[in-house]
Structure 1
């Protein structure tokens, strides 16, 4: 089974505190997820983020098929990073590291996702045709939504 990686960067013209307050709030994931994904939080997002937090969602990633996704926040270092890992859901493995750091005029966000697709050879075949393009689309939506919310970063 192949291990894949998605690596994204984005700069925003906001303070580290503003970035952390928004990104570390599990309820804001709905804000930066495309509506067609049918994203709905079932439980676990009623408290500030902490290690061991279990969050349950419903997502509809393809063909209207509702899927339960359960993640655990495994690591948190305030104003620097947090890690979420899938415990149950559409991937054989999902390990998502979120980093933020101050830069002149704002913050730089970095997402590093390691993931595996289930279903053996069928999963391997669907990765370049469906899975990777869908992930790219979702992260592009997120990037555009964050610019809409916070403005575009201008080089210092």
Structure 2
């Protein structure tokens, strides 16, 4: 299985507590996901629940051609205020391992995403990744970067 990696960094004009509170809540994901993906959290737990290792989150998402898919991730690691990891348990990828790291910097927080993913279907999946999946994944993160600036403003440092 061929895996792909993506590293994204973004500086935020937020305190560490503000960044953690926003990004560690699954219910904020729809705010930073492209609307055409029709992303909906379907988990039935209380939205105020604190993230914890073993937490399972379910979604409906339309990543391609408006086709609705079920997606389930598990929060496998959490160190409050520092990082958390979500891993796909069921969904469109053969592998999805997404680390979210937060670090205080002058005037805000540096957020780093480290994503490893793989597409099913062997050589056909590799072809699909080269033709459109890789670009779609990058577009989602580019949308998120712009959405975060709209929500919280531009990072200006100190």
Q: TM-score range by the shorter chain?
A: over 0.9
- What does residue 40 of structure 1 align with? 40
- What does residue 132 of structure 2 align with? 130
User: So what's the TM-score if we normalise by structure 2?
Assistant: 0.96
Aligned with 2:120: secondary structure? coil
Aligned with 2:42: secondary structure? strand
Deviations 1:38-85 (A, max 9, x none): 111111552221110001100000011111000000011000000000
Unaligned runs of 5+ in 1: none
How many equivalent pairs are there? 156
Separation in 2, partners of 1:149, 1:90: 29
Separation in 1, partners of 2:99, 2:59: 19
Is 1:8 matched up with 2:30? no
For the 8 Å contact 2:14–2:152, the answer to whether it is kept is yes
For the 8 Å contact 2:13–2:157, the answer to whether it is kept is no
| CA 1:63–1:29: 2 relative to 1, 3 Å | same
Separation in 2, partners of 1:4, 1:131: 11
Separation in 2, partners of 1:19, 1:155: 15
Is 1:144 matched up with 2:137? no
Q: Cα RMSD between the aligned structures?
A: 0.9
Unaligned runs of 5+ in 2: none
Greater alpha carbon shift after TM alignment, 109-118 vs 45-54: 45-54
- In structure 2, which of residues 73, 76, 79 is the aligned counterpart of residue 74 of structure 1? 76
Separation in 2, partners of 1:45, 1:36: 25
Is 1:51 matched up with 2:14? no
Following superposition, the deviation at residue 126 of structure 1 comes to 1.0
Displaced runs of 4 or more, over 4 A: none
- What does residue 21 of structure 2 align with? 21
